[in-house]
Structure 1
Amino acid sequence: MLKEFKNFIMTGNVVEFAVAVIMAGAIGAVVIGFVGDIIMPIVGHFSGGMDFSSIAYTLDEATKKADGTVVPANVVAVGKWINTIISLLVVGFVMFLIVKSYNKMKKPVVAVAPAGPSQEELLTQIRDLLKK
């Protein structure tokens, strides 16, 4: 059973999948940094300096109980959700650009036309036709 597990782990698909997961995490960190540090400030600038993350609707205010514990406010964080949607769109667009540039860099696979019959095969066919 241990030998079977070793064979399974050492197959190319598992190793390639592991590398893909690690690379996806690294690329994800880069894209999240790009969106948070570059794109969102630009979006905030063009929206009049508005920070979407501050948009929220308070359903219940924070209250203090008689024993001194504080019940936090019940808030619908619409702005964080808007930031998440914008981030999703930007991440999707960046991934589109990455895949498009990757596909452009790949060498096109040229299909080789199948070779026709050799001279001997053609002569054999002619001979067989003449015999008939």
Structure 2
Amino acid sequence: MASKGRECSIANALGVVGERWSLLALREIFFGNRRFDEIARNTGASRDILTTRLKTLVAAGVLAKIQYEQHPPRYEYALTESGRALQPILLNLMEWGDRYATSEEPPTAWRHTCGAEFHPRTTCDHCGEPLGPDELSPIRVGRVR
């Protein structure tokens, strides 16, 4: 039976990456940890759950599975164009977590190539102004199924 609700790109995206272990695996790959054992160690995910999540991300085209050793066969994971496009989302989620869900000093900070500490910001493509809390309105609203 089909679920009821609004047709929504957020729901579609969550169907691919909206699970804790998927996002943490992507975090590790963004940090440069591309091999299964590194990802498992740094996320704390069980091997069977991590295997399932990585297969889902590969099937969705977010990651590519690349063989780096033949005997025995061993693989690592690389971000595809789709996977690299998730970087701003993960950075914004981390920034939100630093601000609202982490009581101590944030565990990770990012430095831009200019030398300054990096904090993500959403701006308008047209005017370049940063997004304020009440400055958006939908121009199309998806249909309710």
Q: TM-score, normalised by structure 2?
A: 0.23
- Which has more helix, going by share of residues? 1
> Which one scores higher on RCO, CA 8 angstroms, separation ≥ 6?
2
